[in-house]
Chains A and B, each alone.
Chain A
Amino acid sequence: MLTYRPGATVLHRLDPRGKLLVQFGLAIAVVAHPTVPWLAGTTLLGLVALAAARLSPLTVVRAYWVVFAVLAVAPLLAGVALGPPWFRVDPALRSLRLVARVVPVLFASAASLRTTSVRETRAAVQRLVPGKAGQLLGVGMALVVRLFPLVLADVREVRDAIRARGGQRRPAWERARLLVVRSLERTLGRSDRLGVALRARCFAWNPTLPPLTLERRDYPVLVLGVALALSPLV
């Protein structure tokens, strides 16, 4: 699984807003130009990003292997025909070319994942979305990150409890209902307790944030992101 690792690479030192912008720009560029030169260029860019993050492409392929396996089926599905010749090469090749666009985007995304902490992304979101909406998104992200393992443990516990009582002999819909009801109950209980805890700690609209500054090295990244995003207009 790809997760953030602290480090001192160039990508670690870049501003998270620039990295987000490049990923969006790259996705727009590959969707707008499904041609071989663009594909080669963007894949090269993805590989450069991985190298800058000191991340091997093989690690990325291994981490996203389910994604790649599912996508590999698409060209086969696109080529299958319901009569002779049973398999047509042209639609399959077209699909393959489109599916290949996923590679640079996932590479860039993996490089960003490895080098950007959740805290930095949170700060970026909070800076990019103005006003109270941005604050709620920022605080909410931090809380979800903290609470996700607890809620996941709750759901797994409920599932194991149902299984321990021979629940697998019941029909699937009933198991789903039991699992979801108990999980939702516990989740709503946690929500009530979190609400009390936040109010007890004077949950406010104006807390102090970690500083984010754009430095000289961030500007080329921002320019690259904007250029990729605007590339369909050229």
Chain B
Amino acid sequence: MSQQYSSVELIGDETVRHFTMAVLLAALTAALSQISIPLPGTLPPFSLQPFGMFFAGLLLGPLWGGLALALYLLVGIAGVPVFSNGNAGLGYVLVGQGTGGFLVGFLVGTVVAGAVVHRGTTPRDRRTVSVPVQVTGLVAALVVVYAIGVPWLSAVTGLPLTRAAAVMAPFVPFDLLKLGIAVAIVEGGYLAVR
């Protein structure tokens, strides 16, 4: 068996820190996709999935946050049951249930949120970013998610665009509430300073 004896090129400390955070946020996105909080009456359950996108964008910026969501999608495509209801596979992302566009939207949304909040590929100290900028970034991310997800749903299911939008409309207020919770968590001193 052949062996390699070339010199080892170590990965820098800063890169390792961002990389491990991206890996763990991908795992957290996967874990939060499996958990939802039941709401009273006929309301849809309160899904925690978008928090992965929010935190990846807020904490890691476009490059490393994008890596986190890309890892989440790739692991699901490779067959680990990380999508909601324990689904997996490339077919689920491309066509399954018509909601694949939202998964892809999470990836693009993270990049957009990260770009607005961090204004560059290197994550900057989030204490220097004002709350309105963070909120703007996350709202832009949500707009991107729906802009990709709704036409995708319409294309897969054959529902007219307006009807697909009407199907997804009840989720918008919940997503805005989640956005508020995410910013409150990051800004409200709940997390130890990192």
Contacts and interface: CB of A to CB of B under 8 A. Distances in A.
Interface stretch (B83-91, B110-118, B135-143): B83-91
Contacts of A4: 79
Given A102-B96, A106-B91, A144-B80, 15 more contacts: A4-B79, A20-B90, A64-B87, A67-B92, A105-B91, A107-B91, A110-B89, A144-B71, A148-B82, A151-B24, A152-B34, A155-B32, A177-B185, A183-B31, A198-B20
A92 B190 CA distance: 50
Contacts of A122: 78
Contact of B9 (A105, A148, A206): A206
Interface string A189-233: 011101100110011111010000000000000000000000000
Contact of A109 (B27, B70, B91): B91
Contacts of B155: 31, 98
Interface of A: 1-4, 20, 23-24, 27, 30-31, 64, 66-67, 70-71, 74-75, 77-78, 91, 94-99, 101-102, 105-110, 112-113, 116-118, 121-122, 125, 136-137, 140-141, 143-145, 147-148, 150-152, 154-156, 159, 172-173, 175-177, 179-181, 183-185, 187-188, 190-192, 194-195, 198-199, 202-206, 208
Interface string B1-35: 00010101111010011011111111110111011
A195 B17 contact: yes
B157 interface: yes
23 contacts: A1-B81, A1-B88, A3-B79, A24-B94, A64-B87, A70-B97, A70-B98, A78-B157, A97-B158, A105-B95, A112-B90, A113-B79, A144-B71, A145-B80, A148-B82, A179-B35, A181-B191, A187-B27, A194-B20, A195-B20, A198-B11, A203-B11, A206-B4
B89 A112 contact: yes
Contacts, number: 246
A140 B37 contact: no
Contacts of A71: 97-98, 157
A137 B192 contact: no
A96 B181 CA distance: 39
Nearest to A195: B20
Contacts of A140: 19, 22-23, 26, 67, 71
B85 A66 contact: yes
Contact of A184 (B28, B75, B157): B28
B10 A202 contact: yes
A106 B177 CA distance: 34
